Chains A and B, each alone.
Chain A
Amino acid sequence: MKNNSKNNMIINLGPEKPLNPTGLSISVELEGEKIVKCTPQLGLTHRGLEKAAQDKDFSQYLPLVEKIDYLSAFFYAQAYLSALEGLSGIELPKKAQYIRVLTMELNRISSHLLWFGAFLMTLGTTTPVRLSYKLRDEILNIFEKLTGGRMSHNYYVFGGVKHDIPVEFLAEISTCLSNINKELKTLENMAAKNPIFTSRTMDIGVLNTQNAFEYSITGVNLRASGYNLDFRKEKPYLVYNELEFPTPTAFEGDVYSRYLLRIEEIKISINLVNQCIDWLLANEREKYSLNIDQNDIKPSAGRAVTCTESARGLVMCCLSTDGNNKAKRLKWRTPSFYTVQALGRLVPGHTLEDLNVVISSLDIVISEADR
Chain B
Amino acid sequence: MIKSFLITVIIAIAAVYAIICLEKHIISVFSLNPASKNGLKQLLLEPFCDIIKIFSKHEYVQKRRNFLFLAAPIIVFCPVLTAFCLIPFNQAFKLTNFDTSLIIFFALVSISVIGRFLAGFSSENNLSLVGAARVVSKLIASLISIGISILAVSYTAGSLNIDTIIQAQSSTKGLFGWYFLPLFIGAVVFFISALILLNTGKAGFISAENSSLGAYAAEYSGIKLALLEISDYMLLFLFSAIFASVFFGGYLNPFGAYVLPENLHPLEQTFWFLVKIFIIVFCAFLVRTSLPKAKSDKLLELSYKVLLPLSLINLNIAVLILYLAGN
Contacts and interface: CB of A to CB of B under 8 A. Distances in A.
A80 to B, nearest CB: 35
Interface residues of B, number: 31
B42 interface: no
Given A17-B209, A199-B298, A126 B27 contact: yes
B211 interface: yes
Contacts of B294: 196, 199-200
Given A194-B291, A352-B212, A356-B211, A13 B31 contact: no
Contacts of A33: 297
B130 A18 contact: no
Q: Chain A contact residues (Cβ within 8 angstroms of B): what range? A: 20 to 34
A353 interface: yes
A200 B295 contact: yes
Contacts of A352: 130, 211-212
Interface string A110-126: 00000000001111111
B203 interface: yes
A129 B27 CA distance: 12
Contacts of A123: 292-293
B274 to A, nearest CB: 26
Interface in B79-136: 126-127, 129-130
Contacts, number: 83
Contacts of B212: 18, 352-353
Nearest to A10: B126
A11 to B, nearest CB: 5
B30 interface: yes
Nearest to A204: B295
Contacts of B27: 126
Contact of A125 (B211, B213, B218, B290): B290
Given A18-B208, A129-B31, A200 B292 contact: yes
Given A9-B126, A199-B298, A121 B290 contact: no
A30 interface: yes
A200 B33 CA distance: 26
Contacts of A125: 289-293
Nearest to A125: B292
A134 interface: yes
Interface in B282-327: 289-298
A76 B208 CA distance: 34
B60 to A, nearest CB: 14
B142 to A, nearest CB: 17
Given A9-B126, A352-B212, A353-B211, A124 B293 contact: yes
Determine chain A's interface SS by DSSP, over half rule.
helix
A127 interface: yes
A190 B130 CA distance: 31
A228 interface: no
Contact of A127 (B30, B126, B209): B30
B272 to A, nearest CB: 31
Contacts of A341: none
B210 interface: yes
A18 B291 contact: no
Given A9-B130, A10-B126, A11-B127, A120 B292 contact: yes
B31 A199 contact: no
Contact of A124 (B32, B211, B297): B211
Contacts of A30: 126, 130
Interface string B62-79: 000000000000000000
11 contacts: A11-B127, A17-B208, A17-B209, A122-B210, A126-B204, A131-B32, A191-B292, A199-B294, A199-B295, A200-B294, A352-B212
Given A30-B130, A127-B30, 7 more contacts: A18-B212, A124-B211, A125-B291, A126-B30, A194-B291, A197-B292, A200-B294
